[in-house]
Chain A
Amino acid sequence: MSASTASRTTARPSAAGGSAARAARADGPSGTDAAYAVEFAGLGRTFGRAPGRRQGRAASAAPTTASVDVVRPVLRDVSLTVRPGEVLAILGTSGCGKSTLLRIAGGLDSPSAGSVQIDGSPVTDFDTRCAVGFQEPRLLPWRTVAANVALGLPRGTARDTGRARVAELLDLVGLTAFADHRPAAISGGMAQRASLARALARNPGVLLLDEPFGALDALTRLKMQDLLLDVHAAAPTTVLLVTHDVDEALQLADRIILLGQEPATATGAGTTPGTTPGATIVQELTVPGNRPRDRGSAELAELRGRLLAGLGIDRHGDARGVATSASIPHFPY
């Protein structure tokens, strides 16, 4: 199977203005009223040096000082425009830089090269146009589930509006009965759902989800996937969804990118043998059909095969990918 032929099957105009596709907002309290475009331009991220201000700040607190001289590229040359309201799935083996890409998009980390823009303006530190659903639930242990969800509300939300919104969100993720529980008293899957509700609370223009359904059991996972689609249909938002589940990507996304190492022959000069040049977009494909999709369709099966092959190439080409091979289901499944 030739995975490389699938690369860049879609070329989109990079000047997709954010205002063009803004849809009218249904209801709900304050927050952004529109979905925003996200544009990555030649983005690269290297760890181990101090390329940006935030890395310097992180290094002061985290024990990263040991690797001061070791420069390790994680991402390189990521160029992509996500249209307003689009659902983009980001696939890749673990450790390939998916979370890093998402963090850069949200202004939680800064790129070493290139730039990211949201709605045509550069991403700021902890950009408030985004909301992040972290890979870990990251709930405050001393707050109730409801109070944790309330943390996601836009600053300055009125009390009553906020309470109503939190109740609505808890209902949405099926946690109403656990509103007054502490995070320690609920299961990991529930915590993940609470974390998702917190991310949805501000009606973000860009929703950044890092493996949001990873900790859920199969049934809840399907329910939450549907829920995400409902939320997306009800309120315009651009979604960047990191996942390692090919099926989930095919089910939810308009477009899928696969991050990985380009084959060794394609790498440019200047990289030392034995080190990797950093992951980039090795496949990009548009998922046909409207959601909800038929999980068994032949067209999707073909795409699934392609994506799995893409992940497989990474698996053989890069020792770091070995650990994830178990989490990538084999086709057909």
Chain B
Amino acid sequence: MTDTLSSKTAPAVRRPLTSRPGVRVAGGLLLPLLILVAWQLSSTLGLVTIAQLPPPASVWIAAVDLFERGQLTLYVAISTQRVLIGFAIGAALGLATGALVGLSRAADIFFAPTLGAIRAVPSLAWVPLLIIWLKIGEESKITLIAIGAFFPVYTTVAQALRHVDKQLVEAGRAFGLRGVPLFGAVQLPAVIPSVISGLRLALAQAWLFLVAAELIAASMGLGFLLSDSGNNGRVDRILLAIILLALLGKLTDAILGVFEKWAIAKWA
């Protein structure tokens, strides 16, 4: 709004170069390009053996090869699906539990210490248990991802609700709001920005836990590609999987980032 205003009334005022979207995208791509060049150079100059670090072209060929076999799309799709389902379940539970613990003192006393202890368990510690309980099916992986997504959301929501401005809550009460209407009018809008940053953290955790799950017990997916290629010494495919994880993680995060921007403009 201020942008359109200033561009209309004062054309002389120029935005700094660094705030233009084109410059930002190009600037952000600079380092990946440099890395690519360094990578290519190190192979062509023979600084490392091809077995250790195959050149970018072989990674591309590996990608095309896997795509033609139909595996690439399948792996990307199954991993994304697991992340999204696990994230959705974990985030929903995190929102509900965080809301309960943040709003109710009794729930805080009852749940918070236990949840804090469960949170301290390293992700990989769950894997054997989940495999025994849920077998090597989708459930075990999705459960692990949901555990990973749960905690960032739970923590940020509970924290944010506890720190909602008491005076605003009191004002809401004084004007006749209570219960769900009060929550909807005061507490919820007040915590939306923190909830969304919690969701972003949770999404990153979901990808992290995906790889943990797929590395150990999977027959498809990017984590499986990693472990399988590790066993076969296919460094090109390992690099491919890493690059794909980076791209997917960044892409899903960017989508939430847009959502966050919108929410902050609307609620903060």
Contact A126 B171, beta carbon cutoff 8 Å: no
Tell me which of A126, A198, A202 contacts B173 (CB under 8 A): A126
Q: Helix, strand, loop or mixed for chain A's interface?
A: loop
Contact B167 A136, beta carbon cutoff 8 Å: yes
Contact B105 A108, beta carbon cutoff 8 Å: no
Tell me which of A60, A134, A136, A154 contacts B176 (CB under 8 A): A154
Chain B positions 169-197 with a Cβ under 8 Å from a chain A Cβ = 170-178, 185-186, 189-190
Name the CB-closest residue of B to A151.
Answer: B175
Instruction: Assign chain B's interface to a size class.
Output: 20 to 34
Contact B105 A126, beta carbon cutoff 8 Å: no
Contact A132 B105, beta carbon cutoff 8 Å: no
Q: A126-B173, A140-B185, A151-B185 are in contact. Are A60 and B168 (CB under 8 A)?
A: no
Measured CA separation A108–B166 after assembly (Å):
12
A186 to chain B, nearest CB (A): 15
Q: Across the interface, which residues of B come within 8 angstroms of A141, CB to CB?
A: 268
Determine which residue in A136, A141, A202 has the highest number of CB atoms from chain B within 10 A of its CB, and name it: A141
Judge if B266 is at the interface, Cβ distance under 8 Å: yes
Q: Across the interface, which residues of B come within 8 angstroms of A128, CB to CB?
A: 176
Measured CA separation A332–B178 after assembly (Å):
48
Measured CA separation A24–B171 after assembly (Å):
29
Contact A142 B266, beta carbon cutoff 8 Å: yes
Instruction: Count A interface residues, CB 8 Å.
Output: 22
A201 to chain B, nearest CB (A): 8
Judge if B111 is at the interface, Cβ distance under 8 Å: no
Contact B166 A198, beta carbon cutoff 8 Å: no
Tell me which of A60, A136, A198 contacts B175 (CB under 8 A): A198
Measured CA separation A141–B189 after assembly (Å):
9
B206 to chain A, nearest CB (A): 28
Contact sample, A vs B, 29 pairs, CB 8 Å cutoff: A60-B105, A61-B162, A62-B166, A106-B174, A108-B173, A126-B174, A126-B178, A128-B176, A132-B174, A134-B167, A134-B171, A134-B174, A136-B167, A138-B167, A138-B168, A140-B168, A140-B172, A141-B268, A142-B189, A142-B190, A142-B266, A142-B268, A151-B171, A151-B172, A151-B175, A151-B185, A155-B176, A202-B175, A202-B176
Other CB < 8 Å A-B pairs besides A126-B174, A138-B170, A142-B267, 6 of them?
A61-B162, A136-B167, A138-B171, A140-B185, A151-B171, A155-B177
